[in-house]
Structure 1
Amino acid sequence: MSPASRPHLQSIVRPDSKSGPSGSRPCPEHTGGAHSHPADVARLLPPSPQCCKSASLQQKLESVEASLAANKDRITTLLNIIYDLETSHTPSSG
């Protein structure tokens, strides 16, 4: 690497800088300036209403699936009871 390119790299990763490369901002989790995110990172994230709507739909789906599983168990139990009643009341042929 040529010495002429080093000052440019040092300016990018210098820990005493307040922000990272141009067009970026420091990560709020870190205090060092070496770690940064693009300023337009918010455009990459889904909008909040869509995210909430998706979470709500996911919760509804899980609720419906739990209800179906519970109903399946009840139906299976009832069918077993009906089968047992039919077999116990059937006159045995001999």
Structure 2
Amino acid sequence: MFQLFGNALGQVALASILIGAGLPALFAFGIRALAVGSGGSAEVSGEAGKPMMKIVAWICFAIVLAVIAVGLAIIISSGFGYKVSFDHFFPTFIKK
């Protein structure tokens, strides 16, 4: 019984660390990458921008938005009597 409790506690702790701290950290990295990509007055050193970092920033923002959208889909679908399935990689709604 204690082993099951410890396993469940570990899973909850891992999910909370990834979502609770990982998403804001990824967003902050995206903001930093956007500043490096812009260069000039956005940087303390004032050096020229690196356009590749803008692409990295937008990828970070896209990942954050996708995770938020999936989370909202799970919450909203359960209110309508559906569940979200990831059987085919893409989330699909299935009647409970």
Which category of TM-score, normalised to the shorter sequence, fits these structures?
Answer: 0.3 to 0.5
Higher strand share: 2
Higher Rg of the two aligned structures: 1
**TM-score with structure 2 length normalisation?**
0.35
Name which structure has the greater RCO, CA cutoff 8 Å, separation 6+.
Answer: 2
TM-score, normalised via structure 1 length: 0.36
